[in-house]
Structure 1
Amino acid sequence: MRHLILGAAFAALLPFAAHAEGDAAAGEKAFAPCKACHAFGKNGAGPDLKGVVGRKAGSHEGFNYSDALKNSGLTWDEASLKEWITDPKKKVPGNKMMYAGIKDEKKVGDIIAYLGTQK
């Protein structure tokens, strides 16, 4: 029984461990320029990012994604988000996102941590 309880506790903490490298509060501030196109709870110039962590790329209903992103086979996890936020044109050539990327690794980690809080 003890192993079952420990296993359940470990599984519950996994989503938080995936974002241990970033600071969600700092990520909220670093995300500010992203708000020009992205929101949580509705599509804008960019897709709704509420619940993006764990979601299949190019799949949020009601947004017109590029074929490149729809066919990328990506699921947004920490690794794919890191590559995307750093250089979206390199990660998925042919996507239509008008954004050059963030090169500051700390800011990228913070943004990913913040995105992980937006369920």
Structure 2
Amino acid sequence: MRQLILGAALAALLPFAAQAQDAAAGEKAFAPCKACHAFGKNGVGPDLKGVIGRKAGTHEGYNYSAAMKNSGLTWDESTFRDYIHDPKAKVPGTKMIYAGMKDDKKVSDLIAYLETQK
């Protein structure tokens, strides 16, 4: 009986394990972002070092849009996930020219990678 319960529990958790975040895969997912973003310096886009946990539109030395400055967002996992799926829908008027990352697994991996960049 115990094996049956354990087997059922593992089967129920399997889809969640498949969606676990992978920072190494996130580094690969970050590749297109490198055109505008870096860690440790501003570029076309703001410096993303320590972005998770940062209040949106506040990194010193970057000229944010008024929309981003006034968004009231803080970059936690949920907020970043919504934003990166469709930046212009989440923050109308953002300067970010990116159609969005639609693959949820890539987004999860990207977030895991960004969290390593403190």
Fraction of identical pairs, as percent: 76
Pair member with larger Rg: 2
- Tell me the residue number matched to 1:51: 50
- Tell me the residue number matched to 2:35: 36
- With structure 1 as the length reference, what TM-score do the two structures score? 0.82
CA distance in 1 between counterparts of 2:20 and 2:116 reads 14
- With structure 2 as the length reference, what TM-score do the two structures score? 0.83
Q: 1:54 to 1:106 in 2, by over 3 A?
A: same
- Tell me the residue number matched to 2:3: none
- Tell me the residue number matched to 2:62: 63
Name structure 2 gaps, 5 residues minimum: 1-18
Q: Deviations over 1:75-103 (max 9, x none)?
A: 00000000111100011011110111010
Aligned residue pair count: 100
CA distance in 2 between counterparts of 1:55 and 1:28 reads 20
Map residues 1-119 of structure 1 onto 2, 5 A cutoff.
Answer: 21-119=20-118
Name structure 1 gaps, 5 residues minimum: 1-19
Paired amino acid for 1:112: I
CA distance in 1 between counterparts of 2:68 and 2:113 reads 22
- Tell me the residue number matched to 1:3: none
Give the Å deviation of 1:26. Answer: 0.3
CA distance in 1 between counterparts of 2:21 and 2:44 reads 26
